[in-house]
Structure 1
């Protein structure tokens, strides 16, 4: 019924406002969704660990938000198809998959046995738990395609056919299939062979053509786009509507921080008060995996640009209690990345919907990372120094020797040109 008669927009405004409040209190998600998740697991006779349950809770919250946003569009007269529906598999497929996982004997060559071997090494090396969930989804795709879980029965032809199906029938690009799906399978089966569970690695010799789509523009923001976003970020917080204080801070400071650090948006959104450090006369950000996630798994220090200080960033940080700057503190059972990603996603939507940067050839948050490297080249900052600031690695052994000191990085950051934007409201 809601599909044809969604009701008044105000109803969905209230729902979205409530969801915003939940975003600011991650610990409350379990209270709101925990019983529903538990009933769903019980309904399908599934037993899971605490981490997986927390992920289900986060996904249920995300899905409810997407549904509410879709209903808001309908209430405002837009009955176009829901773009999020395609990300869900059919219920029958999911039920069959979970039943097979629950009943299959976990022999030495069972795909999920090999997955656990890989996962154990991955976690022991201090790498991201996010990759575990991502790889699990990719391997489940392979299991669904071949119809069994015995890795010893897999051949290179099976892997090739799976990759072809992903490209030709499911519409994934060669880049995605090669870099995500095949990479996950190769990692799992490489561990299986190395640990003598498999005699052969079925991904050996398998290659996927990864022709990239034509590039029609820069991946970074233009001067005009950057100016529009940064100027809009400085509006009085009261003009940002019914958002939490944390969300308003994220919109105000997220784009500016990315503009002067080249950091990933989640790295900025997971910053804590303790990650903003002043040593001597140099204030800098400690971007560390301890706060949530860093893709390389390595910390780095990034000095603050003078314009950030003049705009009041340090003053804002000092005014806050200990803990995250852009979302509420989470408890030990909540994935610390979820609220940081949610904060980044709100900035993405704000850039699209409020600032009006609609070009789908750029990513509303990641485009800062591309632009930052372009600006660094323009002002002559050494490539190794740029990589140290943004957290890139070039793969050369020589770059792993020595350190990039805060002093050296400060001198480099000071070369970055200022943006012509003026604050129109309090921090």
Structure 2
């Protein structure tokens, strides 16, 4: 063999078979690596190596079965191709032949011609599963126990391996016959054995958690993932638990397909597709592009999503919007049966956030994260700044949105002036956790609106304002480019990125929005 031989090490002039114990099995094995002595002669060590490695792999497999009560075992840990299995067995049989020739009784042993005939029939594909099991079933199980294959008995893969082992047996018998005549220089003639490639070195482990951490750092450096992957972090942990290990280099497409199918048992197709698979696909694509992994095994792992059927418009109608608007304006802080009240922040969110969303088309979490310092007056207009500094902005950039005169008339600026510095609609203290706190309040607002009985079936309580804002903007003939700039939507064409949407253009659109006729 040219170059460095896998699993063979030389320590102080003596050769050893060496196998590193996987990290997740070291507590069971009690060692970080396993070794078996092979002597001081290089050629002799090479002959002993396949059998020694198989024995070490068997020890790992036994430890893995002990750990199987805590996790499931998927693909074999040390997979070998059929020709590699055949070559390993061939080398072990030659070594065993050497040992037997040291026993004087071996001289009376002759080649079994019936066995030769049965092996040739098996190689030709004329043997049944039972016959193959009789010929090489024990050897197949030895390789299975060593973690080299997982083929089910009787499967096509199992029969291929069985026939390869029969070729190895036949070649070993041919060498034995040559040795009986004093010729110990014979080489295998079967291309399966002669051309077998040595196993490639296993890919270096790539810690999944570290890979995810590095990916997030890269995304944040580029201006994305301001919330530190709050929504995606559970995805990576879920995948790790499913795999039963933390080595990203060992993840296969088959693993991801099984994970997807398991997720579909209790999650919707959209969630599996847009959150779980999308997150892992992006992570592994980044890992491949940055040479952390050789390939992106998730590239073609998809989950089809049924097209959502809408039985009505997704935004509020005039009557629905007015009812929600009035309910928000008249909201009073609630006190339950035991005298506990909701926080002032929650009560303020239920009053002002729907009203602001009605006139800005903003995402609800962009409003629940507003801070006192995000509201300012400029050239006679009151303006709110929606910024990632306050929590999370989907597009990643800040935007200024003028407030409609009716919002001012209803007393919002008085509320702002009376508020303490910092978030006005949640009680978060740590800026790193503002996004989580704002999202929690957003959910509270949606829950309150649903429980109020004002939200029709099929309408999202908060997002419906976003749809309605665009509808009303079109009705008054507003520019879609200006509407997108207010809502935080990206332009649809390259031309949309030319020129700026000024505050003056936004103010003109906001001012043209009709007021709500309050009761």
Structure 2 length normalisation: TM-score? 0.57
Residue matched to 1:204: 299
Structure 1: segments with no counterpart, 5+ residues? 1-95, 98-105, 423-427
1:404-415 equivalence runs, <5 A: 404-415=501-512
1:121-200 equivalence runs, <5 A: 121-130=218-227, 132-167=229-264, 169-173=265-269, 175-200=270-295
1:359 to partner: Cα distance = 3.7
Question: In the alignment, does 2:362 pair up with 1:263?
Answer: yes
Considering only CA atoms, is the larger Rg found in Structure 1 or Structure 2?
2
RMSD of the alignment, in Å?
2.5
Give the distance between the partners of 1:198 and 1:253, measured in 2 at CA: 49
Return closer, same or farther for 1:201/1:317 CA change in 2, 3 Å cut-off: same
Question: In the alignment, does 2:491 pair up with 1:394?
Answer: yes
Q: Secondary structure at the match of 2:210?
A: helix
Q: Secondary structure at the match of 1:119?
A: helix
1:282-304 deviation line (CA, Å, top 9, x unaligned)? 21111111111111110001111
Q: Secondary structure at the match of 1:283?
A: strand
Give the distance between the partners of 1:108 and 1:138, measured in 2 at CA: 20
Question: In the alignment, does 2:442 pair up with 1:344?
Answer: yes
Return closer, same or farther for 1:280/1:227 CA change in 2, 3 Å cut-off: same
Question: In the alignment, does 2:454 pair up with 1:357?
Answer: yes
Give the distance between the partners of 2:210 and 2:281, measured in 1 at CA: 15
1:141 to partner: Cα distance = 2.4
Return closer, same or farther for 1:130/1:320 CA change in 2, 3 Å cut-off: closer
1:236 to partner: Cα distance = 6.2
Give the distance between the partners of 2:301 and 2:518, measured in 1 at CA: 51
Residue matched to 1:43: none
Aligned counterpart for 2:352 among listed residues 232, 253, 263: 253
Aligned counterpart for 1:322 among listed residues 421, 424, 434: 421
Give the distance between the partners of 2:246 and 2:343, measured in 1 at CA: 46
Residue matched to 1:381: 478
Question: In the alignment, does 2:315 pair up with 1:217?
Answer: no
Return closer, same or farther for 1:227/1:134 CA change in 2, 3 Å cut-off: same
1:165 to partner: Cα distance = 2.9
Aligned counterpart for 2:371 among listed residues 264, 272, 285: 272
1:158 to partner: Cα distance = 2.7
Q: Secondary structure at the match of 2:392?
A: coil
Give the distance between the partners of 2:474 and 2:426, measured in 1 at CA: 33
1:318 to partner: Cα distance = 2.0
Aligned counterpart for 2:381 among listed residues 266, 274, 282: 282
Contact 1:114 1:189 in 2 (8 A): no
1:380 to partner: Cα distance = 1.5
Higher relative contact order (CA 8 A, sep 6+): 1
Question: In the alignment, does 2:329 pair up with 1:234?
Answer: yes
Structure 2: segments with no counterpart, 5+ residues? 1-69, 72-202
1:405 to partner: Cα distance = 0.7
1:312 to partner: Cα distance = 1.6
Contact 1:118 1:187 in 2 (8 A): no
Q: Secondary structure at the match of 1:161?
A: helix
Return closer, same or farther for 1:236/1:263 CA change in 2, 3 Å cut-off: closer
Q: Secondary structure at the match of 2:229?
A: helix
Give the distance between the partners of 2:419 and 2:492, measured in 1 at CA: 39
Contact 2:220 2:228 in 1 (8 A): no
Give the distance between the partners of 1:303 and 1:314, measured in 2 at CA: 13
1:224 to partner: Cα distance = 2.2
1:162-202 deviation line (CA, Å, top 9, x unaligned)? 223322x22422x2222111110111111111121211110
Contact 1:114 1:191 in 2 (8 A): no
Give the distance between the partners of 1:412 and 1:376, measured in 2 at CA: 8
1:364 to partner: Cα distance = 1.5
Contact 1:108 1:114 in 2 (8 A): no
